[in-house]
Each structure stands twice: as structure tokens, then as C-alpha cells.
């Protein structure tokens, strides 16, 4: 090491400063670099161009429900009943998705209050395998509806999905009539069922 390198490394501004990887976020709309803290405080809306960014399940629930809401337990379903494999095994895809999520699948439901009124809210997370509907999502949707029926309150669902989960084949398509039955029960009980289409909802 030369004397110049030794002097440079000894100076306080010569050392590389470590900064968190999530300090900045790039706006998908205008490309502006924003402080993550500022972006999240603005509910994931760019203060420069007004672009609405995508948000996960936890942030969505926190925005809609009053403080103190409770997550509903995720129903247990059989994983990979078809032993599906394309370029990867389906079980490996699930593991990878769960490594980046706080929830076991793409649908999360919670019970709580909105401005003091009882409600059950279910949200799809596009970040979990495109928010696709498989058996776990169908079971969680139905569990949310059952909770709303038991509490005699509104059931609000925020969609952000690309449709049925191809890795589960016909079993994923079977979730649609199951969901239809539950929404009909809500209607017969005279309870509000509200669907909010979020970005992206393509299926």
C-alpha cells in the first residue's frame, strides 16, 4: 500500500459509508428517486407526479382498518396436489414466494373496524405469485366470508391478481364457484359485499 493510500484511508471521508438498501425507491411513473420513508408516509403515492404505487397486504389492511385489527388464521390446504412442475417445482415456487412475504399465500383476511364499524377485509397481494387464486386463496376468501357472516358485518375484498393459479389446474378454477356460493350467502344475509379493484387486476 502506497503512502497516498494510507493517508486517504485514514481520512474520515475516505471510508465508504454503508447505507440501507431500502433508503430510496424509484417512482414507477416518473422515475424520480424518492426517500422510502417519504414515499410510504404518502401512502405509496409519488409526491412529484401523483403515481399510485403498488402496496402489499399489510399496508393495505393498515390503510383500510382502524388500529387493533386481527388477522384471520390461514386455513390449511393440501399443497401441490398435482405434483406440478414446469421450469421449477411448484413447491419451490411457493417457498420462494413465502421467503419474500409475511403471509403463507396471496390472500390475507382480517377482522376489525372501519371508522368504528365492524368489518372484515380481505386483500390479495400481487407480490405473491401474481396474487393468483389457488386452493389456499379460495379457502382464505371463504374464511373471511364466514367471519363476516358470524359478525353480521360487511365483507370488503381488495383484488390485485392475475387470475387462477395454473400450477393447481382445475383445482384453482374450483375456487370460483366456492367464492360465488359465499357471496350469495352474504347477499341472502343482507350483508354488504364490496369489491375494490386495485392495480393490477387482470383476471
The whole model's pTM is what? 0.83
Q: Does one domain contain both 98 and 191?
A: yes
Dihedral angle, C-alpha 157, 163, 166, 167, nearest 10 °:
-20
* Assigned domain for 7 exists: no
Q: Does one domain contain both 48 and 135?
A: no
* Assigned domain for 4 exists: no
Domain extent for 185? 55-197
pLDDT for residue 22: 79
Q: Does one domain contain both 34 and 113?
A: no
Please list the rounded mean pLDDT of every run of 10 residues in the chain (203 residues). Answer: 62 55 89 93 93 93 97 95 94 96 97 98 96 97 99 98 93 96 98 96 80
CATH number of the domain residue 67 falls in? 3.90.226.10
Q: Does one domain contain both 128 and 193?
A: yes
* Whole-number Å distance between alpha carbons of 122 and 57: 9
- Which residues, at least 6 apart from 18, have a Cβ–Cβ distance to it below 8 Å? none
Nearest to 159 by CA among 111, 188, 192, 121: 121
* Whole-number Å distance between alpha carbons of 9 and 30: 38
Q: Does one domain contain both 70 and 135?
A: yes
* Assigned domain for 1 exists: no
Q: Does one domain contain both 168 and 149?
A: yes
Q: Does one domain contain both 92 and 169?
A: yes
Q: Does one domain contain both 25 and 87?
A: no
pLDDT for residue 6: 65
Choose the final residue of a domain: 53, 75, 101: 53
Q: Does one domain contain both 44 and 78?
A: no
Q: Does one domain contain both 61 and 31?
A: no
**Per the structure, how many domains does the chain have?**
2
Q: Does one domain contain both 48 and 59?
A: no
Amino acid at each position: 500500500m502506497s503512502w497516498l493510500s494510507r493517508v486517504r484511508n485514514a481520512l474520515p471521508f475516505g471510508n465508504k459509508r454503508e447505507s440501507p438498501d431500502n433508503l430510496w425507491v424509484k417512482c414507477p411513473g416518473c422515475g424520480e428517486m424518492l426517500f422510502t420513508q417519504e414515499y410510504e408516509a404518502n401512502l405509496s403515492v409519488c409526491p412529484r407526479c401523483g403515481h399510485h404505487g403498488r402496496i402489499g397486504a399489510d399496508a393495505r389492511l393498515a390503510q383500510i382498518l382502524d388500529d387493533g385489527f386481527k388477522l384471520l388464521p390461514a386455513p390449511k390446504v393440501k399443497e401441490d396436489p398435482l405434483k406440478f412442475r414446469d421450469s421449477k417445482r411448484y413447491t419451490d415456487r411457493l417457498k420462494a414466494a413465502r421467503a419474500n412475504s409475511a403471509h403463507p399465500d396471496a390472500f390475507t383476511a382480517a377482522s376489525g373496524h372501519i371508522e368504528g364499524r365492524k368489518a372484515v377485509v380481505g386483500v390479495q397481494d400481487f407480490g405473491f405469485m401474481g396474487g393468483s387464486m389457488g386452493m389456499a386463496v379460495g379457502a382464505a376468501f371463504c374464511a373471511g366470508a364466514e367471519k363476516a357472516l358470524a359478525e353480521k358485518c360487511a365483507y370488503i375484498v381488495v383484488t390485485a391478481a392475475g387470475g387462477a393459479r395454473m400450477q393447481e389446474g382445475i383445482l384453482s378454477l374450483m375456487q370460483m364457484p366456492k367464492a360465488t356460493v359465499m357471496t350469495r350467502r352474504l347477499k341472502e344475509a343482507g350483508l354488504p359485499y364490496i369489491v375494490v379493484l386495485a392495480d393490477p387486476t387482470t383476471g
